[in-house]
Amino acid sequence: MLTIDITSLSTGIHHFELAPSADQVNLDPSSFEDIQVDAVLQYHRDRILVKLHATARATLTCDRTLQAYEQDIEGGYNVLFGPPSMVGQDGDEFEEVRPLDPADREIDLTDVVRDTILLAIPQRQIAPGAEDEPIAREFGAPEAEDDTDDEEGVDPRWDALKELKDEE
């Protein structure tokens, strides 16, 4: 879990630099590393606006070559922690407000950071240099260069069909 202690915060703007592990934000450690989160908290009496910027190094699979490669990704997101009366119901105006009870001692940013990083992954994943590689457009066994009637490699079960063709 990735949490920030809010008990000692005073009204105003606070900056946090976090370096959680992939496990702390519920990401696959074999695919994500070097996660950095810069969070700016605007703290008021009963609400906290969190503006975060997350970066990570992701191991992706190229859509063109199917080779693994590493890419730096980054994304940003804002979320408001406010009194339960502000938390939106389905279709309400404040749908991205998280509940903040006056007795809360910390805020949880785990899912916000995880989702920000996952949404930062490019939809089309192309490794550097993969655009220059040719794409195979023909598949299967290569055709013989001579089109001679070489009967040696023919399956004998086709002989009956060949006789039908010859009768026409």
Indicate the pTM of the whole model. 0.73
Residue 92 in this model has a pLDDT that exceeds 80? no
User: By C-alpha distance, which of 129, 158, 160 is closest to 65?
Assistant: 129
Please name the residue that has the structure tokens 């609400």: 47
Count Cα atoms within 13 angstroms, Cβ side, for 84: 4
Paired tokens of 26? 């519920």
As given in the structure block, the two tokens for residue 164 are 């039908």
End-to-end CA distance of the chain: 78
State the average pLDDT over residues 54-66. 93
Greater pLDDT, 157 or 18:
18
| CB of 29 closer than 8 Å to CB of 45 | no
Q: What integer best gives the mean pLDDT of the chain?
A: 86
Amino acid at 12: G
